Amino acid sequence: MDAYGYLRVSTKGQIEKDGFKRQRETISKFATESNINIPRYYEEQGVSGTKGEDDRPALQEMITDILSNGVNTVIVERLDRLAREYVVQEQLLIYLASKGIVLLNASTGENITEAINSDPMKKAIIQIQGVFSELEKSLLVKRLKKARQRKKEETGKCEGTKGWNEIDPERKVEVLKLVRRLRRKPRGGGRQKSYQEVSDHLNRKGIKTLRGGEWSPQLVRAFHKAGATKAKKSNTQERKL
């Protein structure tokens, strides 16, 4: 399961302190324990907790990405990182729920969206806003489809998300070698390192994923297995020549 991390600090001074670092650590710990992968964190820099969705550029970017790629879960460190004032907090919760987005509290483990859906009045408001959200999503899908078709007509192709081989093949080889070395069984016996231990090692060393995020055991495993599969296919092709 994938989920985005949403971080917010109210002043520019807090950006340079440990506000974002603390929030990331709390969310990352919760995600690991819940078997959730965090492909990206969105940082709301110097935005007051009293501001609504229109005044939050990182939130708007995250919503746009969610509507176009299918990730529908967001994790915050605490509810006050979403908003401090109750009225603004409630507005944002209804806004997110109306778009089918699940919000999780990393500090308590609570599914906040589930909790507000239990209130009949709030649920009705969410459903009304959901109609408009569905319309917004349909219009977005239609625009994206037209844009892809136009690009295909102009260039003859329409590429999806670029992978390691297109963005940084050299770094891919380096990271893959390190992962293989860490996963290799010690000579003379001993325990093989788990994917959790490998991901912890990579994160401690500051080695980022392709998208600049932190490694999770699931990401390391997928990366490792994909590298092994490609190597096997390459060997098979060479033997046929």
User: Please, what are the averages of pLDDT over each run of 10 residues along the chain (241 residues)?
Assistant: 89 67 92 93 80 79 83 88 76 79 88 77 56 63 76 64 76 90 81 88 89 87 79 46 34
Integer angstrom CA distances of residue 194 from 2, 33, 62, 183, 198: 21, 15, 32, 7, 6
CA angle 42, 3, 226 (to 5 degrees): 110
| Per-residue pLDDT, 238 | 38
Q: What is the pLDDT of residue 202?
A: 92
Provide the CATH topology of domain 4-126.
Rossmann fold (3.40.50)
Output the pLDDT for position 134: 59
Q: Kindly state the tokens that stand for 20.
A: 């974002």
Name every residue whose Cβ is closer than 8 Å to that of residue 171 and which is 6 or more positions away in sequence. 164
Look at residue 39 in the predicted model and tell me its pLDDT: 92
- State the Cα–Cα distance between residues 88 and 44, nearest whole angstrom: 16
Domain boundaries, the chain: 4-126, 164-240
Helices 169-183, 217-240: axis angle to 10 degrees equals 100
The 3-state DSSP class for residue 49 equals: coil
Task: Report the amino acid identity of residue 210.
Answer: L
Tokens standing for 198?
């490998």
Q: Where are the alpha helices (DSSP H) in the chain?
A: 12-16, 19-33, 57-69, 79-82, 86-98, 112-117, 120-155, 164-167, 169-183, 195-204, 217-240
Say what the pLDDT of residue 235 is. Answer: 47
pLDDT in the model for residue 69: 77
**C-alpha span between 181 and 219 (Å, rounded):** 17
